[in-house]
């Protein structure tokens, strides 16, 4: 019963973070459009179309690959009994691999000057 409650709380937290990410990105796009209108620019002329979606999917894919690599490393360490009882090590491995995935995704999708 306790595992179901923990899973429910984790699912609720994930939904909350997904909603907050959508909300702040939507709010930033709205502010950007308002600034463009204020400067006399046409915000629709600079529409992203399919390329923005492709970049977002590329970034998401790279981050998922980074997290999967982190999970694989954790799985190998568990099989080797190298983690002990520390709960911080798996979390830090996931954080490092996810962060590395974000950095790689950002570098790959940046515009080249």
Same domain, 6 and 35: yes
Please, what sign has the CA dihedral across residues 95, 60, 56, 111? Answer: positive
Same domain, 53 and 103: yes
Domain that holds residue 96: 49-113
In the structure, what pLDDT confidence band is assigned to residue 113 with cuts at 50, 70 and 90?
A: very low
Per-residue pLDDT of 10-57, as tens digits, reads 888 888 888 898 888 889 888 988 888 888 887 776 554 456 677 777
Per-residue pLDDT of 73-108, as tens digits, reads 888 888 888 877 777 888 888 889 888 888 888 887
Q: How many domains is the chain built from?
A: 2
Closest of 75, 67, 77 to residue 104, by C-alpha: 67
Same domain, 1 and 27: yes
Same domain, 82 and 56: yes
Distance between CA atoms of residues 7 and 88, nearest Å: 19
Same domain, 38 and 2: yes
Same domain, 55 and 102: yes
Residues 6+ apart with CB under 8 A from 19: none
């Amino acid at each position: 019963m306790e595992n179901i409650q923990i899973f429910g709380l984790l699912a609720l937290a994930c939904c909350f973070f997904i909603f907050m990410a959508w909300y702040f990105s939507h709010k930033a796009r709205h502010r950007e459009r308002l600034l463009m209108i204020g400067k006399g620019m046409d915000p629709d002329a600079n529409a992203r179309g399919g390329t923005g979606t492709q970049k977002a999917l590329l970034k998401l894919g790279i981050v998922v690959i980074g997290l999967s690599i982190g999970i694989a490393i954790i799985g190998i360490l568990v099989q080797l009994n190298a983690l002990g009882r520390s709960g911080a090590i798996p979390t830090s491995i996931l954080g490092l691999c996810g962060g590395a995935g974000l950095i790689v995704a950002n570098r790959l999708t940046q515009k080249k000057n």
